[in-house]
Structure 1
Amino acid sequence: MNTTLTTHSGFRFDVRGARPEDEPTVAEFFTHVTPEDLRFRFLGAVREVSHERLVAMTRSDDTHIHNFLAFAPDGMLIAVATLASDPADRRGEVAICIRDDRKHLGVSWELLAHVARYADEHGLETIESIENRENRAAIDLEREMGFTVTADPDDATLVLVQRKRGASLPA
């Protein structure tokens, strides 16, 4: 099912679930993501997104993994998001990546809000993201959206960002 979202800047884009035939498009998308954003998205040094990761992002038969693709009006893939929940569907981890030349349009904000609403509708109690402490843009955005930020007790380079079900999302 496609959902059309509109950002604060008036930019409109469509979001839908990933499909197996999207693998080449997702692979091409990641060639337009900065090395730093790849490191933030995968929490490590990644030069190229592996076939296995692409398969996981486009062919998930796991009912606890939801992959979202965001397309510009011209059909260009501009963002990807994953929501992976625990087996009880109580807690989910979200990860989002935006194409470098489509930043600062409000896509991250609207896509994260969409994923949060999806999580709420599917009964997840909490969604969270593990962020590299250096990823100030993501942490600031999540904080503005009402997520709480806490230090990772096991890794000083990471923070845990969480949102409880039903927490209001700023307009």
Structure 2
Amino acid sequence: MTLTNAPDTTLSEATETCLQTRSGVDLRLRPVADSDADSVNQFFDGLTADDMQFRFLSGQSHLSSAQLAAMIGVDHRHREHLLAFDAATSELIASLLIAADDAFVTAEVAISVAPAYKTRGVGWTLLNHAVDLARARGLKTLRSIESRANRGAMEVERTLGFKASDYDGDATLALLELELR
């Protein structure tokens, strides 16, 4: 029996996606490939100390080899890592990682944006894309774990309807969730 309205239980985007930010930055998004390891490593090396703190919730200044391997070695099914390039310059300017649980009910999202592209709508556009992708794939909840000091990210998430709550076990963190039903 074939279900015509069954959700696509994969996070993969097999083709390039083009998006435009509210400030007019044209983005090209594509899934990460094995050949992107050096570019991804350089991208994260270019983030500020605060950005690294907010993204990894630790004081690290560089990706570990295990973190890099996990970002490159996504299964493109339950875990997808989309790289965002400035269409005008082909520069890697952002990273969008979305990871669904085994039951494909809840997914966590993490976004990093190059310092030169902050306040240009890149993070908002990528989060909005993650919401659309999760909803289209039939996920029920999209979540993000944020440092309470990362007010900018939390404000972006709230504008898209995410609700904040305490994160169990760590008063410095907040859990932001969006019900996709």
Partner of 2:115: 100
Identity over aligned pairs, percent? 37
For residues 59 and 46 of structure 1, the distance between their equivalents in structure 2, rounded to whole angstroms, comes to 21
User: Tell me, which stretches of 5 or more residues in structure 1 are unaligned?
Assistant: 167-171
For residues 64 and 90 of structure 2, the distance between their equivalents in structure 1, rounded to whole angstroms, comes to 23
Task: Pick from 53, 59, 70 the counterpart of residue 45 of structure 1.
Answer: 59
Task: Pick from 89, 96, 119 the counterpart of residue 81 of structure 1.
Answer: 96
Q: How many Å apart are 1:135 and its aligned residue?
A: 0.4
For residues 144 and 59 of structure 1, the distance between their equivalents in structure 2, rounded to whole angstroms, comes to 32
Q: Which has the larger radius of gyration?
A: 2
For residues 51 and 122 of structure 1, the distance between their equivalents in structure 2, rounded to whole angstroms, comes to 30
TM-score w.r.t. the length of structure 1 is: 0.93
Q: How many Å apart are 1:62 and its aligned residue?
A: 6.4
TM-score w.r.t. the length of structure 2 is: 0.88
On the 8 A contact 2:45/2:61 being kept in 1, the answer is no
Does 2:86 correspond to 1:55?
A: no
For residues 152 and 76 of structure 2, the distance between their equivalents in structure 1, rounded to whole angstroms, comes to 30
Which runs of at least 4 in structure 1 moved beyond 4 Å after TM superposition? none
Task: Pick from 1, 5, 13 the counterpart of residue 27 of structure 2.
Answer: 13
User: Tell me, which stretches of 5 or more residues in structure 2 are unaligned?
Assistant: 1-14
Q: How many Å apart are 1:53 and its aligned residue?
A: 1.0
The 5-angstrom pairing of residues 21-40 of structure 1 reads 21-40=35-54
- Matched residue SS, 1:123: coil
